[in-house]
Chain A
Amino acid sequence: MFAFKTNPINQRRIANFRKNRRGIWSLRIFLLLFIGCLFAEWIANDKPILVSYDDHWMVPVLVEYPESAFGGEFETEADYRDPYVVELIEEKGWMLWPPIRYSYDTINYNLDKPAPSPPSSANLLGTDDQARDVLARVIYGFRISVLFALILSILSSIIGIAVGAIQGFYGGKIDLIGQRVIEVWGGLPVLYLLIILSSFVQPSFWWLLGVMLLFNWMTLVDLVRAEFLRGRNLEYVRAARALGLSNPRIMYRHILPNAMVSTLTFMPFILTGAITTLTALDFLGFGLPVGSPSLGELVAQGKANLQAPWLGISAFVVLALMLTLLIFIGEAARDAFDPRK
């Protein structure tokens, strides 16, 4: 997309987007949260960011150090939350902790109430029923949800655009067959397939992504196909053909930019759809592997522990915030791309 910088149409679109205050602020907040969450290990972790021990600098967030490195007994990785290890380190140096001293899977054994325990100064949003810090899990959960949705949206858009482009551009039999195949494929019950598959495969992030991708790419096909059906009859496309351009080149240079408008407009909504799907699967227990920080699992815990409202409320607030921000961004993008403006 080399033309993005210079093209006056895009300049106008960016200006339009900037004018939508709700959209631009949503984008800023979302980017801040997302980039922050990419560094989740530096924000919420059960390992210190920096250790100065015996005049050596150590970075436990990145590197595993055995306990013996600090004068302990075991060759396994040091448990920095263990009072004994803390004492060893503080003797000859100091530790710099992240703001939240729990990772998503850290179990807090020092609770004064049975898990799930309510918010306290140690666990700002309380803990879940396995005594894990909810705030840490929400931060990691946000990251994994957005990353999953982002990768899924980008990959399914690439496939969807390619298929839609070929169908729309060539039309005729290719289009007819393609549309029928998509109708059959789209008719498959995705949820049942996932349930069946998860009974003999242990789902992982990439496995889940792959299966979702198999059924998610069809969203954009119709849109792009319609754009290409229209685009192939545009006069400048005909002019390009008269110049002797090859078909792939015409598709890429002349029609795709038109189709990209509707695609980009649709992207935030695909993104929210993917987040919702992942959350739903996690809620039902067919999603990410057990123990992963997932918002859907938190919702399920909230439902199972109605006496601990901080579980359900945290999950709700995070999901609502994330989806609302994305929808606002999507709306602003859609308005910015609107040719009537």
Chain B
Amino acid sequence: MSQPLLSVKNLSVSFTDEARTTAAVKGISFDLEAGKTLALVGESGSGKSVSALSILKLLPYPQASHPSGQIIFNGEDILAADEKRLRQIRGGRIGMIFQEPMTSLNPLHNIERQISEVLELHQALKSNRIQARILELLDMVGIPNPAERLKAYPHELSGGQRQRVMIAMALAAEPDILIADEPTTALDVTIQAQILELLQQLQKKLGMAILLITHDLGIVREVADSVCVMHQGELVESGTCEAILQSPRHSYTQELINATPSGEAVPIPDTDEPLVCAKNLRVWFPIKRGVMQKTVDYIKAVDGIDFELLKGRTLGIVGESGSGKTTLGLAIARLINSEGEIIFGQQPIDSLNQKNMRPLRRDIQMVFQDPYGSLSPRMSIRQIIDEGLEIHSQKNARQRNQQIEKTLQEVGLNPNICDRYPHEFSGGQRQRIAIARALVLQPKLIILDEPTSALDRSVQRQIVNLLRDLQQKYQIGYLFISHDLSVVRALSHHIIVMKDGKVVEQNDTRNIFTTPQNPYTQALIKAAY
């Protein structure tokens, strides 16, 4: 066997706080061969990103330290290299692309300047050759009409295009290794597929090695040659892609592979009582121009949507980012203004003002996407859950307390956490708290806006199971908004596929997945499975 291109030996990473030292990575070893793809898989907090960042020594030193280990790249120990040598390696021999393409590009530099910076640093090209090289790179990563896009700023590009620019930057110096840290997580599924395909093409063409960091086993299956599974800073299993995915030995790997939410929606209850019904619902944001702020046009976020949700059932709303699905949810909850009829139970609610809406709020609750943002960091769990009860229920503090504790048990949390604060909990626990906050009011409808997308796969599965149990027990109607088809499939009775504010297709869950009619729906399903 030849010498591997990159060899990580017994690498450890520790972070030193004032008080204590936390070991983030505990003695991992792996090899990366030239021209191959190695996937580093694990859930958030498993230390996979930290391991990758230490290859370029990009961690916040001196808080971070390496108690042990060697990183050998082309026969040279990177950990022992000085800053000058490191700068030559970074972006030169080893390129990196990050998860969030919006924040990894400088918003004040246009595309040409972003890429030319790399070329000037590492390739010492003459200025007249730089532009030609940039065009070549942009063409290679599949940006249409690269000559016209040279002067574009990051905000003028879509998420997928930004990630392509990031890749072009990383490839500019023709690196031997490309480190891709969750390169597709922030992108829509159809674009994810394109970016992965691009990476594979480029790898073949340029013969570089890719170190792919991801939590998504679907991606691993498609692109990786070998896999390392990380769990709590340790390497629990490694091997070729087929071997790991076909016959995982370690229990954690098995758990990961089985983590995809599965199963079907709860059996349809035998009532046909309508819960919420929307007719020709529109949310148009005016675009105002000029001194007089005249409305010249509208952004049609939601443009004429009809649906009906019956009691105790789930309506899944699927679409990519910008399709208007979150706006639709906010409109139904009457948190933003909309036009068109919304009937809740028997009562039209679209004409109610905020004050008259208030008594109805206890029946319509929301759970938001980001469990870190939706809980006030200054309030204890008890205060957070009690807040709605205090307004809507006539009970005294002791009775409310009992109800809070009962609800916490129902969402699978220990009631004695009441006096702790949100930052002490993990994402999944926080999302349970957010569900408890909604559930404690005994609502008839819960609008779930991407409640699982910020969570790890295995936690997603638990939350989906929890939501199903609660639905069966209390006959709550769910409006489930998500871009993730596997989660939607596991929970919904009926699905609406949205694109650009309009309904593309709506049908029963089974029909959507077995016989999708619209090409867009077909593309979504193809990209997801």
A7 nearest CB across to chain B (Å)? 6
B387 touches A7 (CB 8 A): no
Tell which of B358, B361, B378, B391 touches A9, judged by Cβ atoms closer than 8 Å. B378
Interface residues of B (CB under 8 A from A): 333, 335, 357-359, 361-362, 364-366, 368-370, 373-380, 387-388, 391-392, 419, 421, 423, 434, 437, 441
* CB under 8 Å from chain B, chain A span 230-266: 234-236, 238-246, 253-254, 257
A3 interface hit (Cβ, 8 Å): yes
- Chain B residue at minimum C-beta to C-beta distance from A242: B366
Docked Cα-Cα span, A7 to B421, in Å, equals 8
A257 / chain B contacts, CB cutoff of 8 Å: 378
A244 / chain B contacts, CB cutoff of 8 Å: 357-359, 361-362, 388, 391-392
Most chain B CB inside 10 Å of its own CB: which residue of A234, A235, A243, A246: A243
- Chain B residue at minimum C-beta to C-beta distance from A257: B378
Docked Cα-Cα span, A8 to B391, in Å, equals 26
A256 nearest CB across to chain B (Å)? 10
Q: List 6 A-B contacts (CB under 8 A).
A: A9-B378, A235-B373, A238-B374, A241-B335, A244-B391, A245-B388
B434 touches A239 (CB 8 A): yes
B365 touches A236 (CB 8 A): no
Given the contacts A8-B421, A235-B368, A243 and B361 also touching, CB distance less than 8 Å? yes
Interface residues on chain A, size class: 20 to 34
Tell which of B357, B358, B370 touches A235, judged by Cβ atoms closer than 8 Å. B370
A9 / chain B contacts, CB cutoff of 8 Å: 377-378, 421
Docked Cα-Cα span, A235 to B421, in Å, equals 17
A236 / chain B contacts, CB cutoff of 8 Å: 373-376
Docked Cα-Cα span, A319 to B267, in Å, equals 78
B366 / chain A contacts, CB cutoff of 8 Å: 238-239, 242
A245 touches B421 (CB 8 A): no
Docked Cα-Cα span, A254 to B365, in Å, equals 18
Docked Cα-Cα span, A235 to B373, in Å, equals 5
- Chain A residue at minimum C-beta to C-beta distance from B391: A244
B378 touches A3 (CB 8 A): yes
B366 nearest CB across to chain A (Å)? 4
B377 nearest CB across to chain A (Å)? 7
B308 nearest CB across to chain A (Å)? 22
- Chain B residue at minimum C-beta to C-beta distance from A240: B387
B365 / chain A contacts, CB cutoff of 8 Å: 242-243
- Chain B residue at minimum C-beta to C-beta distance from A15: B18
Docked Cα-Cα span, A242 to B373, in Å, equals 15
B380 / chain A contacts, CB cutoff of 8 Å: 6
B373 / chain A contacts, CB cutoff of 8 Å: 234-236
A239 touches B374 (CB 8 A): yes
Docked Cα-Cα span, A27 to B232, in Å, equals 44
B437 / chain A contacts, CB cutoff of 8 Å: 239, 243
B360 nearest CB across to chain A (Å)? 8
Most chain B CB inside 10 Å of its own CB: which residue of A6, A244, A245: A244
B362 / chain A contacts, CB cutoff of 8 Å: 244
A170 nearest CB across to chain B (Å)? 12
Docked Cα-Cα span, A235 to B366, in Å, equals 11
* CB under 8 Å from chain B, chain A span 17-46: none
B387 touches A243 (CB 8 A): yes
A8 / chain B contacts, CB cutoff of 8 Å: 421, 423
A246 / chain B contacts, CB cutoff of 8 Å: 358
Tell which of B335, B358, B379, B387 touches A238, judged by Cβ atoms closer than 8 Å. B335
B379 / chain A contacts, CB cutoff of 8 Å: 3, 253
Given the contacts A3-B378, A9-B378, A245 and B387 also touching, CB distance less than 8 Å? yes
A234 / chain B contacts, CB cutoff of 8 Å: 373
A242 touches B361 (CB 8 A): yes
A11 nearest CB across to chain B (Å)? 11
- Chain A residue at minimum C-beta to C-beta distance from B367: A239
Docked Cα-Cα span, A73 to B473, in Å, equals 94
Docked Cα-Cα span, A253 to B383, in Å, equals 11
A234 nearest CB across to chain B (Å)? 7
* CB under 8 Å from chain B, chain A span 32-87: none
B379 nearest CB across to chain A (Å)? 8
Contact with B along A94-119 (1 / 0, CB 8 A): 00000000000000000000000000
- Chain B residue at minimum C-beta to C-beta distance from A339: B377
